[in-house]
Amino acid sequence: MRDLIITENITLDGVIDAAEGWFAPAGDEDVDQSDIIAALAEQREAADAFLVGRTTFEEMRGYWPHQTDDPTGITDYLNRVSKYVVSTTLRDPEWGRTTVLRGPLREDIEALKSAPGADIVTTGSMTLVAGLIAAGLVDEYRLFVYPVVLGHGRRLFGDATGVPGLKLVDAQWFNSGIVLLRYRPS
């Protein structure tokens, strides 16, 4: 059985809504980022499926396929990984290796988890993530905690119901001040 992993960039006060531009994909440009780039690469290598909601997918589709000088490796990964978009309205994904999942959510995700392969990772997708948490489908939470406090914005567990008890399984800090916390349901 494959693991479904939620990976989020998150503020100290739990905000995952990036509308205010509080995070960069790999942290502060003035700080050595080799440690966080290596951690992101390690996570990408362990996953062969990428799951997102329609809004996040459309934002990513408008940006990542057009990057030509990406030192993070995210562009190459997104262009080659199997992408799954949860949407009832998206017709043509217009991005190679993309499958649209039309629901029901639990059935679609259980089928993905039971198929052969490596980890399934989701990021962003605030509405989808809340649904995955409420349905008890999440196997691991990987939270890249930024040393930022916003005081407002959508929080990871703000609208989620059915949040299980969590057990910290790993913590890693980076030169940029970002900390990766990995939790699994206890």
DSSP conformation letters of 36-69? HHHHHHHHHHTEEEEEEEHHHHHHHHTTGGG-S-
Q: What is the pLDDT of residues 18-69, one digit of tens each?
A: 777 777 654 456 788 889 889 999 999 999 999 999 999 999 999 999 998 8
CATH number assigned to the domain comprising residue 146: 3.40.430.10
**DSSP 3-state assignment of 32?**
coil
Question: Domain range for residue 40?
Answer: 4-17+31-185
Query: Do the domain assignments include residue 24?
Result: no
| Rounded CA separation 111/123 (Å) | 19
For all residues of the chain together, what is the average pLDDT? Answer: 91
Query: Do the domain assignments include residue 23?
Result: no
pTM over 0.75, yes/no:
yes
pLDDT of residue 29: 65
Domain count, the chain: 1
Query: Do the domain assignments include residue 25?
Result: no
The fraction of the chain above a pLDDT of 90, given in percent, is 74
